[in-house]
Amino acid sequence: MGCIKTTIILAVLALSTSLLGAQAQLLSVRQQPGQSSPIQCQYRDGWESCHNATSRDCWVRKYHSRGRHEWVEQLDILTDYEDKYPPGVTREYWLEIGPNPQVMPDGHSKKDGHYFNGTYPGPLIEACWGDDLVIHVTNKGQTNGTTVHWHGLRQLNTNQMDGVNGVTQCPIAPGDTFTYKFRAEQYGHTWYHSHYSMQYADGVVAPLVIHGPSSHHWDVDLGPVLMTDWIHDTAFNGFATMEIPGTAFWVDSILINGHGHFNCSGTTSGCAGSYWETSFTPGMKHRMQLVNTGFNYPIIFSIDEHNITIVANDLVAIEPVTVPSLTISPGQRYTIVVEAKHHPAQDANYWIRTGIECGGWNAAITDNRTAIVRYLGADENKLPTVNRPMPFSKTCLDVDYNLLRPKVPWKVDEHPMSVLNYTATKQTNASTSVGPPHYKHWTLGTHPMWLDFMKPTILSPVSSLDNVNYTATQGKFPPTKDLNDGFIYLIIDANPLLPSNHPLHLHGSDFAVLAQETTKYDPATSPSKFKFDNPPRRDTVMLPHTGFVALAFRPNNPGAWLLHCHIASHASSGLAAQILIRPDGERGWDRHHYRGGLDEVKDGCKAWADSSLSKTFVQDDSGV
């Protein structure tokens, strides 16, 4: 795929104190795939950085025009990022999505893998809190459409940039380009991935970091750590041969930052995998940005003989809490800080483990040792000799939600504007209302999602609400209610007869986790357990298969927002819903409120309609 051409348009503050204004420059950086661009956070209008090695919780200060000795405003870890963010600059990236048969992260070939710019994981996209991002995505493949979702980003007033085909846009046709434009109003780390059916499970994933303040001190930034389950067959074929017939989805290996091993016994091809490696400096605190980019399994992360301190979950900074290990469900992220030993042993190499013990081992996956921490000075040619795993839980559940306390608190109104009820379950009989093919669908309610790629909700919200296949619900609000203060509750049950937890992800907003229980929801007694004062807040939560989650979000971001299971085959099967938020609460829909308009969406839909793929592909899933 060649190199990434990254053009960053930024304002460079003039060095001379006699100049009051800012000078704009155009920087062009050519880089190798998978490498991050050299990034400097630049702010204008008198804002300057206050973030340094001794003050990680501060970000920027605005100084008085009379001089730097007096500042008038500060944005830091306690700033409500839904209300304020720095005046950033514009950063522009180019991405291509297409095949590359030479990518073999566990040493074994993969059928019909697709990747960003030919690499796995794809290139790191970086921005600073408050920056605008312009990202051009070209579909270089021939067998799939594609879209890109910027996981967890709020997309305030830019619903059309959320990257969900059938909801916010049509698929990007082969050879076509879609330009995503949005503002980084949050900070932290996340990932971007395809939302076209099962495509992200075939390799279309990459890290995204928005630099900002931290709730805990760190000395060394080790960057994003992406972990995933991996399948050698194409995930589309896996869906057809496993999910549709109703058997458990099989995976071949576990990867960490594009490295892994496959159990080659019984094969004739032979394979040579690798371990991802990173370095610790004795006595230093190391920041790691963990992401489960998998499509099936929760992954248990740990480092032998080291505790880990959680400082953020998803894109929410929290009060630091220390644990021995961490279960991370598909779609979830945790920022952790690990303090290195002050006096490590001479042979100081330690295993990083990414196990799937809570989900059950595959025959092909028999070892949870997937990466290595090497202390500076340790022998780089030796595998760790210490084998002392940290304690972990096999429940597949999230960290105890009482431990996750956001730095910026929410006080949730005990009187919701409305309540939406869902049940994550599976049909007992093969559905004939959608398809063919006809099979037992996973659902988030009574009907599976089944979208029409040619008719995204954003272009026809009223008809989408009338179409049962779109599983769309409109939030209803009292006409006098302030949408910035009120909340919609989501009460989501599971089916205890089906032994599958569900990592649920909401687009367009963080939600407060009022309750996360392993017992069935009881409308008479369960609300008494709700936590309203600074509950945990995130965008992806695990629904226990025997219980329920109670969530609350602010309906202040207009658009059509997807709620779905992040087990890819479950979402593709139909376990998804849409929540439509009108721009002004009770009045009619107005497409013109979206920042930037909908011309890019309309042009993309025309290109998809004109493509030969739109006329020949056979839909066998929900589309997401």
What's the pLDDT tens digit per position in 144-189? Answer: 999 999 999 999 999 999 999 999 999 999 999 999 999 999 999 9
**Rounded Cα gap, residues 446 and 448, in angstroms:** 7
Residue 313 confidence (pLDDT) above 90? yes
Question: Of 223, 278, 607, 275, which is closest to residue 453 (Cα–Cα)?
Answer: 607
Question: Of 251, 223, 258, which is closest to residue 115 (Cα–Cα)?
Answer: 258
In this predicted structure, what is the pLDDT of residue 193? 98
Question: Of 544, 460, 370, which is closest to residue 169 (Cα–Cα)?
Answer: 460
Global pTM value: 0.93
Question: Of 188, 246, 230, which is closest to residue 500 (Cα–Cα)?
Answer: 246
Q: CB neighbours of 592 closer than 8 A, spacing ≥ 6?
A: none
In this predicted structure, what is the pLDDT of residue 18? 24
CB atoms within 10 A of CB 592: 7
Residue 248 confidence (pLDDT) above 60? yes
Residue position matching structure tokens 């549709």: 244
**Rounded Cα gap, residues 346 and 153, in angstroms:** 44
**Rounded Cα gap, residues 440 and 438, in angstroms:** 7
Beta strands in 369-521 (DSSP E): 369-375, 418-426, 442-444, 472-474, 488-494, 502-506, 511-517
For 133, the token pair is 């991002």
Residue 93 confidence (pLDDT) above 50? yes
3-class secondary-structure state, position 616: helix
Rg of the chain over Cα atoms, rounded to whole angstroms, equals 24
3-class secondary-structure state, position 516: strand
pLDDT tens per residue across span 53-91: 999 999 999 988 766 678 899 999 999 999 999 999 999
For residue 18, with 0-12 CB atoms within 10 Å meaning exposed, 13-18 middle and 19 or more buried, which class applies?
exposed
For 291, the token pair is 């992401």
pLDDT tens per residue across span 533-555: 999 999 999 999 999 999 999 99
Q: CB neighbours of 312 closer than 8 A, spacing ≥ 6?
A: 188, 214, 215, 318, 333, 334, 335
Residue position matching structure tokens 């309203």: 532
Q: Which residue has the higher pLDDT, 470 or 26?
A: 470
Residue 592 confidence (pLDDT) above 90? no
For 267, the token pair is 């094969």
For residue 547, with 0-12 CB atoms within 10 Å meaning exposed, 13-18 middle and 19 or more buried, which class applies?
buried
Any bridge partners for residue 517, and if so which?
548
Residue 416 confidence (pLDDT) above 60? yes
Any bridge partners for residue 537, and if so which?
512
- At 470, phi and psi to the nearest 5? -85, -5
According to DSSP, the β-strands at 188-194 and 114-116 are unpaired
- DSSP H/E element including 286: strand 285-292
When mean pLDDT is compared across 343-357, 361-375, 444-458, 513-527, the lowest value belongs to: 361-375
Q: For the sheet containing 71-76, what is the strand order?
A: 47-49, 58-63, 71-76
- The angle subtended at Cα 87 by Cα 133 and Cα 408, nearest 5°, is 95
Residue 442 confidence (pLDDT) above 90? yes
When mean pLDDT is compared across 24-38, 183-197, 424-438, 496-510, the lowest value belongs to: 24-38
Any bridge partners for residue 375, and if so which?
280
**Rounded Cα gap, residues 43 and 65, in angstroms:** 15
Q: Are 451 and 166 in contact (CB under 8 A)?
A: yes
441-465: average pLDDT:
96
Residue 219 confidence (pLDDT) above 60? yes
CB atoms within 10 A of CB 378: 20
Say which DSSP state 37 is in.
P
In three-state form (DSSP H/G/I as H, E/B as E, the rest C), the secondary structure along 290-325 is: EEECCCCCCEEEEECCECEEEEEECCEEEEEEEECC
3-class secondary-structure state, position 606: helix
Q: Are 457 and 576 in contact (CB under 8 A)?
A: no
- At 272, phi and psi to the nearest 5? -135, 100
Residue position matching structure tokens 């458990």: 248
Question: Of 39, 40, 42, 41, which is closest to residue 24 (Cα–Cα)?
Answer: 42
